Amino acid sequence: MPELRYEPVTDTWVIIATERAKRPKDFVPLVMAAKKEGQNCPFCPGNEDQTPPEVMAYRPGGSAPDTPGWQVRVVPNKYPALDDAAADPPRRDFFLSGPAAGRHEVIIETPDHDRSLARQEPEEILLALAAWQERYRRLGQDPGIAHTQIFKNHGVVAGASLEHPHSQLIATPLVPAAVRSRLESTRAYHRERGRCYYCDTLAAEEREADRVVYADGSLLAFCPFASRFPLEVWLVPRRHAASFAEADRGELRSLAGALKAVARRLLEGMRDPPFNLMLHSLPYRETGYRDSFHWHLELAPRLTVLAGFELGAGMFINPTPPEMAAEFYRA
Amino acid sequence: MPELRYEPVTDTWVIIATERAKRPKDFVPLVMAAKKEGQNCPFCPGNEDQTPPEVMAYRPGGSAPDTPGWQVRVVPNKYPALDDAAADPPRRDFFLSGPAAGRHEVIIETPDHDRSLARQEPEEILLALAAWQERYRRLGQDPGIAHTQIFKNHGVVAGASLEHPHSQLIATPLVPAAVRSRLESTRAYHRERGRCYYCDTLAAEEREADRVVYADGSLLAFCPFASRFPLEVWLVPRRHAASFAEADRGELRSLAGALKAVARRLLEGMRDPPFNLMLHSLPYRETGYRDSFHWHLELAPRLTVLAGFELGAGMFINPTPPEMAAEFYRA
């Protein structure tokens, strides 16, 4: 029977559409090759001059900036969506606009072009996460930046234009409305029950157990009850902390292990489908939500299309019950 | 210079990303053939037994239901996302769910398999819109239905699984949260200024003129100031009315003409890109919003990917300024 399931953080009802139920193996992921660029890949070692100058890198051998020898390298996006130098747009009568000020950076996760997340060792993933955190913290010191969204697009259908493994960050001068409403809904939950919504969800998911994908001492990964996407996974640290800036090395290490496990199952069991990975973290100066927000990652495989119903009504149709998805990941 | 533009109905900031500016001709739309099905297309005349029995049809010759001779035919979706017969899901401790009750129907717009929207005559489009309205009104009489979302997915990337021209409706037992917040934001505008946001937008777009795509006595079509999608178009009736149920024949006729013009430009100038078309209309029993909401259509070509930034932060990056998009449509 189809079922409507409620996701309170985004106030969204999801249709778990069992009439059109799809087991993971029923999907034919739309796998399209991103630009390989061959020897011209701007993210490959030796081509450092094809990106803007790096803002940071891990260089165990102490090599010079913008030369080979790095493990992780962070550079400004060559075609930034936001730009600190953006000027004020013309004033208009009725319409509201502002300068697109901010930062748009690329985290090149590995020097190895063919080493996608699923193929990286947890130690390598840990380094990329450490770079995420270093940039996340640093950008928070800029008074012009209100929020940093870190994300990864894997595969063309998920928005990746280059194949070389990388993630991105976009730091905005404002708190996006969708982020604001997540803060509000989880604070409302906290006011009502005196507890963090995510802490309660961790306990409930662990109790029901059938949506759990991965667990260790510091992290739980599960397919959320009201998954919007087939095979969606949330990776949530057990320790309550509102900001990703507060994650400790042990938590990042757990996260790296869980990401490796999830990505490898997708690669091996699903022929490497496209996916997006999103960090959710408290915006820098929103201290009023420290008890009610809880940083975590959400991974959304892109096996269905966001079409007219989703864009118009904001509801999602998910043909794969999360209990079935979790079984796939645990196999 | 890049610019942030504000869309007050959805409280969304859009990045008009001029650093990565794309003229319409720069896009290479991801055009993928949907299932042609050849003689087995379930929507073609002669195959009426391949769909559930029709709920209505326009049959000028008076032919029998579920036989050929129709101009427009409406049938329940064979694999409905929602189902009036859905049973209550099991009660759970922490998680909220409900039966996925409702209706999911397909409006087959023409008997001609190859006659996509751009190739239909305005008179044919008018018939399909009349069928939309007839079903929209009828479903509103069901006390179990709170809202009907009508939409059209054109092209595989926009979510169409069958090629034969069709649109869909999903009638839900609740008002989706995204619809609810559009009602609230436009009512807040109305309370503050004493006017309808859409009526004011019509006046402002007509005044600035450079985003207008199509105009006649009863309708204005324009690329909205804070377009989330490249080549996005809103089609808004000049007469204030909250519900699509109130549209008169003249307004539907204007809408048909505008849709034809827009779809033809996309077909001829852009090699038939995928798009979604969404109706926005007052939910059936939300009478408190009659003065502040204003029914209209939104058309979103799918030339960019909704990726990690959009899914995570809910902000959009649009590489095509709407002024440039409108110029394309007017050409």
Set of chain A residues whose Cβ sits within 8 Å of the Cβ of B80: 2, 19
Q: Is the model's pLDDT at B11 over the cut of 60?
A: yes
CA separation for the pair A123, A108 (Å, rounded): 15
B312–chain A Cβ distance below 8 A for any pair? yes
Higher-pLDDT residue of B36 and A211 is A211
Higher-pLDDT residue of B95 and A26 is B95
Return the number of CB contacts < 8 Å for A and B.
241
Alpha carbon of A221 to those of A24, A237, B69, B237: distances in Å? Answer: 18, 9, 55, 48
Contact A19 B172 (CB under 8 A): no
Exactly one of B104, B164, B166, B294 is catalytic; which is it? B166
Residue A144 is predicted with a pLDDT of 94
Residue A32 is predicted with a pLDDT of 61
Of A3, A4, A159, the CB nearest to B307: A159
Residue A69 is predicted with a pLDDT of 98
Interface of B with A in 251-280 (CB under 8 A): 276-280
Contact B179 A147 (CB under 8 A): no
CA separation for the pair B133, A212 (Å, rounded): 45
Tell me the backbone φ, ψ of residue A108, rounded to 5 degrees: -85, 115
Q: Nearest chain A residue to B99 by CA: give it.
A: A3
Tens of pLDDT, residue by residue over A66-111, are: 999 999 999 999 989 998 888 888 888 899 999 889 999 999 999 9
Of B80, B153, B225, the CB nearest to A307: B153
Tens of pLDDT, residue by residue over A25-46, are: 777 766 565 666 667 899 999 9
Tens of pLDDT, residue by residue over B106-158, are: 999 999 999 999 999 999 999 999 999 999 999 999 999 999 999 999 998 89
For chain B, how far is it from start to end, CA to CA, in angstroms?
A: 25
Tens of pLDDT, residue by residue over A202-247, are: 999 999 999 999 999 999 999 999 999 999 999 999 999 999 999 9
Residue A221 is predicted with a pLDDT of 98
A109 Cβ contact partners less than 8 Å away, ≥ 6 residues apart: A72, A117, A120, A124, A125, A127, A128, A165, A166, A167
- Output the average pLDDT for chain B: 93
Q: Is the model's pLDDT at B38 over the cut of 70?
A: no
Set of chain A residues whose Cβ sits within 8 Å of the Cβ of B8: 96
Residue B2 is predicted with a pLDDT of 79
How far away is chain B from the Cα of A222, in angstroms, using its nearest Cα?
14
CA separation for the pair B182, A94 (Å, rounded): 19
β-partners of residue A316 are: A14
Residue A70 is predicted with a pLDDT of 98
Residue B232 is predicted with a pLDDT of 97
Angle at Cα B193 formed by Cα B197 and Cα A312, nearest 5°?
Answer: 25
Set of chain A residues whose Cβ sits within 8 Å of the Cβ of B306: 159, 306
Contact B198, B219 (CB under 8 A): no
Interface of A with B in 61-120 (CB under 8 A): 79-83, 86-87, 89, 92-100
Of B5, B277, B307, the CB nearest to A153: B307
Higher-pLDDT residue of A16 and A168 is A168
Rg (CA), chain B: 20
Exactly one of A104, A113, A166, A190 is catalytic; which is it? A166
Tens of pLDDT, residue by residue over A235-285, are: 999 999 999 999 999 999 999 999 999 999 999 998 889 999 999 999 999
Q: Is the model's pLDDT at B37 over the cut of 60?
A: yes
Higher-pLDDT residue of A279 and B80 is A279
Q: How many other CB atoms are there within 10 angstroms of residue B33's CB atom? A: 8
Chain B interface test: which of A156, A169, A315 (most B C-beta within 10 Å) = A315
CA separation for the pair A226, A177 (Å, rounded): 21
Asked which of A2-16, B199-213, B290-304 is least confident by mean pLDDT, the reply is A2-16
DSSP B33: P
The verdict on whether B113 is a catalytic residue reads no
Q: Nearest chain B residue to A197 by CA: give it.
A: B94
Set of chain A residues whose Cβ sits within 8 Å of the Cβ of B185: none
Q: Nearest chain A residue to B200 by CA: give it.
A: A94
Interface of A with B in 6-35 (CB under 8 A): 6, 8, 10-13, 15-17, 19-20
Give residue A27's identity as a one-letter amino acid code: F
Tell me the backbone φ, ψ of residue B168, rounded to 5 degrees: -140, 160
A308–chain B Cβ distance below 8 A for any pair? yes
Contact A72, A57 (CB under 8 A): yes
Q: Is the model's pLDDT at A15 over the cut of 70?
A: yes
Confidence grade of residue B35 (pLDDT, cut at 50, 70, 90): low
ipTM confidence score = 0.94
Residue A271 is predicted with a pLDDT of 85
B53–chain A Cβ distance below 8 A for any pair? no
Tens of pLDDT, residue by residue over B224-266, are: 999 999 999 999 999 999 999 999 999 999 999 999 999 999 9
Tens of pLDDT, residue by residue over A153-165, are: 999 889 998 999 9
DSSP B283: -
CA separation for the pair B308, B315 (Å, rounded): 10
Tens of pLDDT, residue by residue over B266-320, are: 999 988 899 999 999 999 999 999 999 999 999 999 999 999 999 999 999 999 9
Give long-range contacts, CB 8 A cutoff, 24+ apart: B204-212.
B204/A93, B204/A94, B204/A95, B207/A93, B208/A92, B210/B323, B210/B326, B210/B327, B211/B322, B211/B323, B211/B325, B211/B326, B212/B326, B212/B330
Set of chain A residues whose Cβ sits within 8 Å of the Cβ of B92: 208
A151–chain B Cβ distance below 8 A for any pair? yes
pTM of the predicted model as reported, rounded to 2 decimal places: 0.95
